[in-house]
Structure 1
Amino acid sequence: MIITSGEMKLEDGPVRSSLRRRRQNFIVDFPSMKNGRSMQCDAVLESAYCIWLEHDPQVVKYYTQPHTFIWVDDSQPYRYTPDFYVVLTCGDGYFTEVKHDFGKQRARRLAKLDSFHALCFKEGWAFQRRDEQSITGSTMFQTLKALYSRLRPYNEQQQMYFYHYLHQRAWPTTLGDLLQDSAAPDTATICFNLFTGRLMADLSQRLTLDLVVDRVLPHE
């Protein structure tokens, strides 16, 4: 394989300008906490994938349509732009392709993805494929989505009060009791701390008032 594309410049923003407006396939601006700005996604499913990236503590930041790769594989030229490049706390990263159903992709498209996967292996990169079922098919996704839609990004003043509040009440409790407590932080702050793991809860369950919530002890 021979790579003929230039150097990847991540800070330049999406390299692909999409004009697509088909059903379930249009520009979505996702408000990213980790990147501190809106991320331009080519589809609603891609913006849904961002919720997992925001929740994953191993993810530092991520880029949408990060780079267009051009390479030759067995005399066949390819051109491909991954949907995401994800940077991890360990310094490593991986590319991700998002599709509703890879089983319904054209043979030519799958051949391109297979060739890019082989290129990644050769170069020491990582490559993932995520479909609709793996992104939105779980109860946990619905819970994370509900929390993310209600949270407020980190606010130092609100967080200082949150940490003070942690020591003022008995734990565990329920989400309903927290929301009814007039002394508790506001709903957006509670959702932020549930989403980011500063409050413990089984997020694989539906988000209801009966959800059991506990504080995270210092040694945890």
Structure 2
Amino acid sequence: MEKNTAFSRASRYGCCGNHLVLFPSRKNKCQLRCNSMLEADYCINLEYDHEVVRYTTNVPSIKFLVGNKLHSYTADFIVETQESINYIEIKPDFTTLSARTQEKLNRGKEALSTQGTPLRYASLETIRNGCCFRNKEFLYFNSFHVSRDELGYCMQFISEIQYPTSISEIIKNNHHPSLKSLYLAIFIRQLDFNMKKIISPVSLLQQGVNYPNAADIDTSR
């Protein structure tokens, strides 16, 4: 896929009136500047989505004319997958937007469409989708600073045990992997459980998929 220069520039700083949040991204191997907690929460979903290759909040503005007046629109994210690049707009609730804001979004969407790039929306409801999001958030932030050896040992350990099992059963073993490496294994779907229920020590775990390979995970953060 052709390189998008937005991924190679430093992220923009927060705009006046916005709450700047630094999000530690494993996929991008850097901290991203988000303009709200909702944007930072969206990053967690992007980290979990194995189809997402990389993403950025450093989004170039799109210029367009309304009558004889030049306007601009700036999306919140660019998200790149293996198949496409999408611009993303984040809002708590798209049904309560002012007419002016909605018109600006529509114009921005039209301008991006002429370039063959879709603009997609993500709201509070779709980002913080109940127990599923709470599990992603817990697993992501409790699985940092796992060494490659630590993760490798965990991968080997979980490939040799019987399923179904649970975290409490695993840690009964005298040679069990670290808890944070288990959380990372669950987050990257090497271990699977019912995401619709809050994870606990007794949550039933099944053997997960083989994506991504443990060697592909940035464990330095």
TM-score (norm 1): 0.86
The alignment partner of 2:205 has SS state of strand
Matched, 1:129 2:126: no
Partner of 2:23, secondary structure, is strand
The aligned counterpart of 2:216 is: none
Matching of residues 59-70 of structure 1 within 5 Å: 59-70=52-63
Which range is displaced more, 26-35 or 74-83?
Answer: 74-83
One of 17, 34, 42 as aligned partner of 2:35: 42
Contact 1:153–1:192 under 8 Å retained in 2: no
* Counterpart Cα distance in 1 of 2:69 and 2:127: 32
Q: For the residues of structure 2 that align with 1:42 and 1:217, how far apart are their CA atoms?
A: 34
Report percent identity of matched pairs.
21
**AA aligned opposite 2:198:** R
- Deviation of the 1:74 alpha carbon: 4.8
Tell me the number of residue pairs that the alignment of Structure 1 and Structure 2 aligns: 208
Displacement after TM superposition at 1:84 (Å): 0.3
1:46 aligned partner, one-letter code: E
Select 2:88's aligned residue among 82, 91, 96.
96
- Partner in structure 1 of residue 185 of structure 2: 193
Give me the whole-angstrom Cα distance separating, in 1, the residues matched to 2:210 and 2:95: 46
Q: Which residue of 2 aligns with 1:13?
A: 10
Check if 1:30 corresponds to 2:23. yes
Note if contact 2:6-2:56 (Cα within 8 Å) is conserved in structure 1. no
Q: How far off its partner does 1:218 sit?
A: 6.1
Counterpart-to-counterpart distance in 2, 1:63 and 1:181: 41
Could you state the TM-score of these two structures normalised by the residue count of structure 2? Answer: 0.85
Unaligned runs of 5+ in 2: 212-221
Q: Which moved further from structure 2: 30-39 or 198-207?
A: 198-207
1:99–1:132 contact (8 Å) kept in structure 2: yes
Q: Any conservation in 1 of the 2:7–2:55 contact (CA below 8 Å)?
A: no
- Contact kept, 8 Å, 1:151 with 1:192, in 2: the verdict is yes
- Per the alignment, in what secondary structure is the counterpart of residue 87 of structure 1? strand
Deviation for aligned residue 1:177: 1.7
Q: Is the 8 A contact 2:9 2:58 kept in 1?
A: no
**Deviation for aligned residue 1:161:** 0.7
Question: Per the alignment, in what secondary structure is the counterpart of residue 212 of structure 1?
Answer: coil
1:80 to 73, 78, 86: 73
Which stretch shows the higher mean deviation, 181-190 or 149-158? Answer: 149-158
User: Retained in 2: the 8 A contact 1:83–1:97?
Assistant: yes
Which moved further from structure 2: 130-139 or 173-182? 173-182
Root-mean-square deviation (CA, aligned residues, Å) is 2.2
Is contact 2:46–2:52 with CA below 8 Å preserved after alignment? yes
3-state SS, counterpart of residue 85 of structure 1: strand
Aligned amino acid, residue 89 of structure 1: Q
Unmatched tracts of structure 1, length 5 or more: 1-6
